[in-house]
């Protein structure tokens, strides 16, 4: 026990040099990365399966070894660990170098995979060829740039997941949700789709944990045809994709909030929470960032709704004798559902939305106007003057590639670990709407215990000023909150608690709680 640092300082001391174990761990991990980097130069290493195994094992071992050396001799609990003194975690030179390197890799991966060794009509070379044995073993197909990306993505979540568990070993909730994202990424996003592709070659690649609007492409004609041609398995997956939108997702969000997906299942959230944990304090807490978040997220939801509608609309017809689902029926159904949701919100939740009601109204009327225009000014294969495929590919490029990939992950060391989740993810936006409107999830606070240390706000990856809520003793019910629970984990006084309680009794944000105001406290407690 004498080796433990018993300092009570919240800021901590400047970080000491890496110990021997950490230095050896870095050397081990960089050896694995070095093997992958060398393959960019198309070196003939011989047994690619062996070298791939060595590279992945070295990276995995290095990360876990470093974590053990960093946390094994520290007391349980969260310390700041000098994050603002480290170049990597405080937007220093190392952070910018890492951000540029990651961004460059993503740009090459998305747009220039041939430089990684991808050969469409021949044998792969370079880095991608190194992953061919693993890809052929799982799906029977040569590796693609997406398989390379998926493999490294999974390795990162697993290795840094172990680090996360070690760091937050005092908190069972953090351990549980980390194991959850590790499982879903490994099984549902990596192994199962590859194996299913091997068993049924006509079945489109389907990440089972993704649903609309995140997989906006799932209802394109070629995928629908692929599901139908794959028989009962394909139809089951198509049905699962539909029911997950209208039944599974709303029910789970009602019970547990958007955390059931954003913090327990989602691969983007899994990478942000594990590999991106060291950068969570970089999330912009300014009022300007909050305004940008509201406008961008609402715009993305409007865009993805219109794009999905347009894609489906483009391959439907008007001949009722062939199929009941015509263009008119479909677009009328979409308008009816949106109108019903909008009316319910404005009638029953208008007061709670406050200023956000304005953004919702603008988004709703924008969609309705575009839908009307789409119906009267579109023809077969075209939406207005644009081809449906052009619109879809544009959305895929702007949102799926640039925002979620290049910026969302490449900018971890600069903008924080939840840039994509906070500003660009349509799934997070839709779930956030459900969370705010009818979910039982909330974070309760005990203002009398708050010492205003600011740890909760600092470590909130979604830019929420948690301390402001805690100081007032106000429950936190926010659309952007992903329920990661880190604010609760880093609180030295146990002020914050994640709950799934009824809406009755939630403290109104307009109530100003004064410590000695007995009448007001009685009012709040009797709600």
Query: What domains, with CATH codes, occur in the chain?
Result: 1-75+112-199 (no CATH), 440-525 (3.30.70.20)
Is the CB of residue 194 less than 8 Å from the CB of residue 143?
Answer: no
Beta-bridged to residue 443, according to DSSP, are 476, 498
Task: Count CA atoms closer than 13 A to 50's CA, side-chain side.
Answer: 4
Q: Decide: pTM greater than 0.85.
A: no
pLDDT at residue 176, rounded to an integer: 93
Cβ distance 125 to 119 under 8 Å?
Answer: yes
**Burial code of 487-518, b = ≥16 C-beta within 10 A, e = fewer?**
bbbbbeeebbebeeeeeeebbeeeeebeeeee
CB atoms within 10 A of CB 343: 11
Span 473-486, average pLDDT: 86
Tell me which of 55 and 78 has the higher pLDDT: 55
In the 8-state DSSP scheme, what is residue 504? T
Nearest to 300 by CA among 402, 414, 150, 437: 402
pLDDT of residue 331: 81
Closest-CA residue to 261 (of 205, 337, 177, 199)? 177
- Determine the average pLDDT of the residues in 109-126: 84
Q: What is the pLDDT of residues 340-369, one digit of tens each?
A: 888 877 777 777 666 666 777 777 778 788
Core vs surface per residue 450-476: b (16+ CB within 10 A) or e: beebebbbbbbbbbbebbebbbbbbbb
3-state helix, strand, coil in the chain (%, to 5): 65, 5, 30
What is the distance, to the nearest Å, from the Cα of residue 285 to the centroid of all Cα atoms in its chain? 19
DSSP string across 350-374 = HHHHTTHHHHHHHHHHHHHHHHHHH
Quick one: average pLDDT of 398-406?
64
Name the band, by pLDDT with cuts 50, 70 and 90, for residue 1: very low
Q: Is 195 helix (H, G, I), strand (E, B) or coil?
A: helix
The yes-or-no verdict on residue 177 having pLDDT over 90 is yes
**pLDDT (average), residues 414-428:** 86
């Amino acid at each position: 026990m004498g080796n433990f640092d018993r300092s009570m300082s919240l800021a901590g001391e400047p970080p000491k040099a890496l110990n021997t174990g950490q230095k050896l761990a870095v050397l081990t991990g960089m050896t694995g990365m070095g093997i992958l980097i060398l393959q960019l130069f198309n070196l003939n290493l011989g047994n690619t399966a062996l070298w791939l195994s060595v590279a992945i094992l070295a990276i995995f071992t290095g990360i876990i070894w470093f974590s053990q050396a960093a946390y094994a001799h520290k007391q349980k609990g969260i310390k700041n660990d000098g994050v603002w003194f480290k170049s990597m975690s405080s937007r220093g030179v190392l952070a910018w170098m890492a951000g540029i390197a990651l961004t460059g890799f993503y740009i090459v991966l998305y747009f220039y995979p041939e430089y990684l060794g991808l050969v469409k009509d021949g044998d792969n070379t370079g880095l991608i060829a190194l992953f061919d044995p693993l890809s052929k073993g799982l799906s029977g197909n040569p590796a693609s740039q997406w398989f390379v990306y998926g493999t490294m993505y999974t390795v990162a979540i697993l290795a840094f997941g172990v680090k996360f568990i070690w760091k937050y070993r005092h908190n069972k909730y953090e351990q549980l949700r980390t194991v959850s994202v590790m499982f879903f990424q490994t099984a549902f996003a990596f192994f199962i789709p590859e194996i299913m592709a091997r068993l049924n070659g006509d079945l489109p690649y389907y990440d089972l944990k993704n649903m609309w609007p995140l997989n906006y492409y799932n209802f394109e004609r070629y995928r629908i045809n692929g599901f139908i041609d794959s028989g009962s398995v394909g139809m089951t997956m198509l049905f699962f994709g539909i029911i997950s939108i209208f039944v599974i997702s709303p029910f789970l969000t009602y019970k547990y909030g958007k955390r059931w997906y954003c913090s327990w299942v989602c691969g983007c959230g899994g990478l942000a929470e594990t590999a991106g944990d060291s950068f969570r304090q970089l999330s912009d807490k300014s009022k300007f960032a909050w305004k940008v978040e509201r406008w961008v997220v609402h715009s993305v939801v409007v865009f993805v709704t219109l794009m999905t509608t347009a894609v489906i609309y483009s391959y439907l017809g008007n001949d009722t004798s062939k199929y009941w689902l015509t263009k008119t029926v479909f677009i009328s159904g979409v308008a009816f559902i949106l109108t019903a949701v909008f009316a319910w919100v404005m009638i029953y939740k208008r007061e709670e939305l406050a200023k956000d009601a304005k953004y919702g109204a603008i988004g709703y009327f924008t969609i309705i106007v575009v839908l009307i225009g789409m119906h009267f000014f579109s023809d077969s294969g075209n939406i207005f003057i644009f081809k449906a495929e052009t619109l879809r590919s544009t959305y895929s490029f702007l949102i799926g590639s640039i925002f979620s990939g290049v910026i969302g992950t490449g900018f971890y060391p600069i903008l924080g670990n939840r840039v994509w989740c906070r500003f660009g993810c349509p799934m997070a936006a839709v779930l956030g709407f459900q969370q705010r409107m009818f979910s039982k999830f909330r974070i309760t606070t005990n203002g009398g215990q708050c010492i205003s240390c600011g740890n909760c706000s600092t470590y909130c990856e979604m830019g929420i000023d948690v301390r402001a809520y805690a100081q007032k003793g106000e429950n936190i019910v926010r659309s952007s909150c992903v329920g990661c629970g880190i604010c609760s984990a880093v609180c030295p006084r146990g002020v914050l608690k994640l709950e799934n309680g009824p809406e009755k009794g939630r403290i109104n944000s307009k109530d100003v709680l004064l410590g000695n105001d007995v009448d007001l406290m009685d009012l709040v407690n009797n709600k």
